[in-house]
Amino acid sequence: MRAVGLLLLCLGLAAAGEQQCSGAPALAASSNYSAVFAPSRTSGGVFDDLLTRSASNRDFSVVHGASRAWVKMPGWHNTKLSYMMQPNKGANFVMYLADMGPGSTVAGKSPITERFMLVLEGSIEIDVNDREVLVGANEYAYLPPSSEEYMSQSATAKDGAKMLVFERIFGKAEGMPIFRKGAIADAPAKESGPAGAGTSVARALLPDSDEWDLEVAVVDVRPGFPAAALRAHYNNHGAVLLAGEGLYRLGDSWFPVQAGDAVWAAPYVPQWFGAMGAEPARLVVYRDRNIDPLFVV
């Protein structure tokens, strides 16, 4: 009976264009990210407008989507950026949204910086060693520091693209990662939850190997359940909620968060996320790794 039910569920999902059932976890959050790029507030002076989910603390912060600002930045043509975390706040990375207009371009980074781009809408074409690599929605690219091997890594968005970007100063004394492109759907999925019940599914977008000094994961969480156990780890932690809603614990405080909100936590800040509401939540999580903490400034 149970197998028949599962089969019917699989057929239903397949008919709805959802993920196939061949052993893949059934939990999948929406990949409609329109709320992430919802317009920020423009009016002021009314008390209602002062309500915000944003909070800024010495060692953690929440950036509410509606209270963020859009800026221009050298190197990015016809593009608006919205920063959600940066080093002079205490983080060891930069986290931002990029809204690239049609025909826009972005130059590659420097020999000491690396960039991770997750395309949420539209597509970009990256010039990697004179090879054009197309990266579409729900796909991502990791761009290593520029070198003789990676001269350009500039990107073009012919019809426009919306992206979530992480950047940092490459932090490892030895070893160098290579350019990498992938899709969320193809990333290895690890189920967890109370008694391994599959109430959350984490997809690691970068290989679990020594060269990389960061990890980025997409975590889908069933409402009513935590993304993972409460942690107070040595890494910096950045997260953006792409879909759904829930509660974040940061230090001794609790914050309601919705799609489009971003979070940062410094090392050892206790943190926990639980999904709520009707839809599964989708988080993109950044963490540094493989860096000896003795040498992190």
Ligand X SMILES: *[C@@H]1O[C@H](CO)[C@@H](O)[C@H](O)[C@H]1NC(C)=O
Give the interface with ligand X as residue ranges (CB under 6 A).
32, 34
- Which CB, 32 or 129, lies closer to ligand X? 32
- Closest CB 279 distance from ligand X, rounded Å: 10
Q: How many whole angstroms separate alpha carbon 238 and alpha carbon 286?
A: 5
Q: How many whole angstroms separate alpha carbon 249 and alpha carbon 228?
A: 12
- Closest CB 34 distance from ligand X, rounded Å: 4
Residue nearest to ligand X (CB): 32
- Closest CB 28 distance from ligand X, rounded Å: 15
- Which CB, 6 or 38, lies closer to ligand X? 38
- Closest CB 38 distance from ligand X, rounded Å: 9
- Closest CB 19 distance from ligand X, rounded Å: 16
Measured CA to CA in angstroms, residue 55 lies from 176, 249, 254 at distances of 36, 12, 11
- Closest CB 32 distance from ligand X, rounded Å: 4
Hey, what are 6's tokens? 């599962």
Q: How many whole angstroms separate alpha carbon 66 and alpha carbon 216?
A: 24
CA angle (177, 181, 185) in 5-degree steps: 125
- Which CB, 34 or 152, lies closer to ligand X? 34
- Which CB, 55 or 137, lies closer to ligand X? 137
